[in-house]
Amino acid sequence: MDRKCTCSDLVGQYIDDGRLLLIQTIGSGSNGVVYLALDLATENPPPRQYAVKCVPKAPRGSRALYMQRQEVEFQATVCDHPNILTLHTVIEDEHNLFIVSDHCPGGDFFTFLSNNRPFRRNDAYLKRIFLQLLDAVEACHDENIFHRDIKPENILISADAKQVYLCDFGLATTKPFSRSFGCGSSHYMSPECIGFDMSLQGYSTRQNDVWALGVILLSMICGHNPWRHATIEDPCYRAFVKDSDYLGKTLPISAAANNIFRRIFMPEPLRRVSLPLLRLMVLQIDTFFMTDDEISRSSDHVKNAAARFFAEPVPRPPTSPPLERWIHVPGWDFSDNTLCSEGSADSSASPPTPPPHYDEPVQCEAADPTPAILEVPRGQNNNEDEHPPESMHHSGVQFGHEPRERIRIRRSFPSKASLKERHMGLVGRIFDRFSPHRVEH
């Protein structure tokens, strides 16, 4: 008897009529699993890599199906931008959808920030990367697409760390004004999106994205988020509401950078800085960082944060094993040409130090009444009304699998050049009824 396919045990399986081979699990979440795939139709080794997001097919007529269709449509609309992850195609079998995108071997931006601290005292590099992210968000807004879940985990980075790519449009919307409070990841939500003020009739999704960019910018400058949640119950946010210079008094950021954050974190959404103006302010700033002399004359909070962020050794990021350790592909020899980045370590090497827990406060020796800023947390989605039904959730990923026949699919593999013109037709076609005995070539 055939066993029903799941998203969590497909390593070693083929999709796209044998063209793509799933070789490794590279990510997982409540809605599905992301695999690294090889394109076996590549003419010369090594084969091209893709990231394949596998999600269970939602029942017809369900809200989950609507969300799946919408996520594909939104990403296809904007993925021609150089800083938005390219969507190549969507493949389906009887049980799952496979969303095929570019693979970014640099990993996600959260891990990059935690393991490398790459922007310390590097204004030019910080500007370059942040403006790429800002331009990606502005490109979405120009298409009336508002992301609503901008966070480091939803940003990918290239192997050479010179390009970033916005991804995961599962919570995006075309509504400039939303009443879906709490949609996104709470550490990056604006106060009006969190929805603690019951008198609000909704919030601006555009301004909510601007707020999230501000949280990310601060973490790039000094490795901290400004607060846990932007509510008056949070001591750090309450201190900021009372004194808009609070961040400049507790973190080693320059006066010009502090002015940017005052404009981004305006409590009144309509007074918040626009993306074009924010871009201009970032371009014109001389430095985001305090000088050593300014730090020496600042509070103990600033001195402590500077010592931790600027002086501590940086842990080495994790490295990938050679491809031949993952899986054997008949007809391919990877002995001299692996697909992992340079400096691959042996699999027995100890893992890198994990990022500090969000509840670990910055320790200050002096008795300063100002609440301490906390380290960058890993965001959690708080969008229960937007999630697929419980039946769609798959936890406890299985890495082992039994041999199985190749998954039969019926989708083509279009090039990026034709995607912009064809994405609407693609979105409509991928949800046609599946026939397991028919395959398109």
Residues making up the annotated binding site for ATP are 53
Can you give the length of the chain in residues?
A: 441
Q: What would the two tokens of residue 304 be?
A: 């402590």
Buried b (16+ CB within 10 A) or exposed e, 121-135: eebeebeebbbbbbb
136/115 Cα distance (integer angstroms): 24
Annotated binding site: 53
439/441 Cα distance (integer angstroms): 6
**In the sheet that 20-29 helps form, which strands lie side by side, from edge to edge?**
14-15, 20-29, 32-39, 48-56, 96-102, 87-92
Judged by DSSP in three states, 108 sits in strand
Residue 234 CA, chain-centre distance (Å), reads: 25
Peptide bond into 46 cis (omega under 30): yes
Classify burial at 389, counting beta carbons within 10 Å of its beta carbon; exposed 0-12, middle 13-18, buried 19 or more. exposed
Catalytic residue at 142? no
Q: What would the two tokens of residue 109 be?
A: 């931006």
Please give the C-alpha separations between residue 45 and each of 3, 12, 26, 337, 357, in angstroms, as whole numbers: 34, 19, 22, 8, 42
Torsion of CA 255, 258, 260, 263, to 10 degrees: -130
DSSP string, 286-334: S-SB--HHHHHTS-HHHHHHHIIIIISPPPPPP-PPPGGGT---TT---
Longest dimension (CA), the chain: 74
Catalytic residue among 93, 149, 168, 234: 149
DSSP string, 178-243: E--TT-SBGGG--HHHHT--TT---EEHHHHHHHHHHHHHHHHHHSB-S-SSSSTTSHHHHHHHH-
Catalytic residues: 149
